[in-house]
A and B are shown apart, each in its own frame.
Chain A
Amino acid sequence: SQQGEEDPQALSIQEGENATMNCSYKTSINNLQWYRQNSGRGLVHLILIRSNEREKHSGRLRVTLDTSKKSSSLLITASRAADTASYFCATIVYNNNDMRFGAGTRLTVKP
């Protein structure tokens, strides 16, 4: 069954703007991850944030985790056309056997 749910389902912005995507989940988790998928391709792992962490950075990416609200956000700063992709959050309760993905946010960055 689906655990993470991303919103918005689709987001369209201009190059240079920031993009924020949110993920909500239902049960307590061990960690939460964000992935990117270019059209019809495999997923690329972006960031893993553990349940005892509140924020992580990687380049232009910033991920926050609020376990009290059971939610996470992915911020992409200074977006580029190449950031156009679908972004998924995935939660792990115990291990990868129970990893569950959301339906994703489709981000379009217009040049």
Chain B
Amino acid sequence: ETGVTQTPRHLVMGMTNKKSLKCEQHLGHNAMYWYKQSAKKPLELMFVYNFKEQTENNSVPSRFSPECPNSSHLFLHLHTLQPEDSALYLCASSQDTTVGLGAFGPGTRLTVL
């Protein structure tokens, strides 16, 4: 266990559905991240929150909407996704944004039909 949990672990959704991914960390970290991992491609940074403030939006389509209500929780709201959005979505956290990534969650395997 790394101290970062993600739910659900697996999600299958249609293109018209709305769903949310949840990430939670109890490490006392102040920065949280969403990464997308597609087959045979490098990890793609999607969003960064530092002290609950979004500091990075790496040109992510608006059908992905992050939310960070506090330093321990991070959500990724999904709406009108495309089949190419199918991937492993990884949440990570770190003490702050200068020290590298301290911990990753196990990921949510998302399949968009």
Residues of A participating in the B interface, judged by any CB pair closer than 8 Å? 2, 4, 31, 33, 35, 40-45, 48, 88, 90, 92, 95-97, 99-104
Contacts and interface: CB of A to CB of B under 8 A. Distances in A.
A96 B102 contact: no
B4 A100 contact: no
Contact of A99 (B4, B6, B101): B101
The listed residue with most B CB atoms (<10 A of its CB), out of A40, A42, A88, A90, is: A42
Contact of B105 (A40, A42, A88, A96): A42
A33 B101 CA distance: 9
- Shortest 7 CB-CB contacts between residues of A and residues of B: A42-B104, A101-B43, A96-B97, A97-B56, A43-B104, A95-B97, A101-B42
B66 interface: no
Query: In the complex, which range does the number of interface residues on chain B fall in?
Result: 20 to 34
A97 B55 contact: yes
Contacts of A41: 106-107
A43 B40 CA distance: 15
B48 interface: yes
A42 B100 contact: no
5 contacts: A42-B4, A88-B43, A96-B33, A101-B43, A104-B42
Nearest to A104: B42
Contact of B2 (A33, A44, A97, A101): A44
A96 B109 contact: no
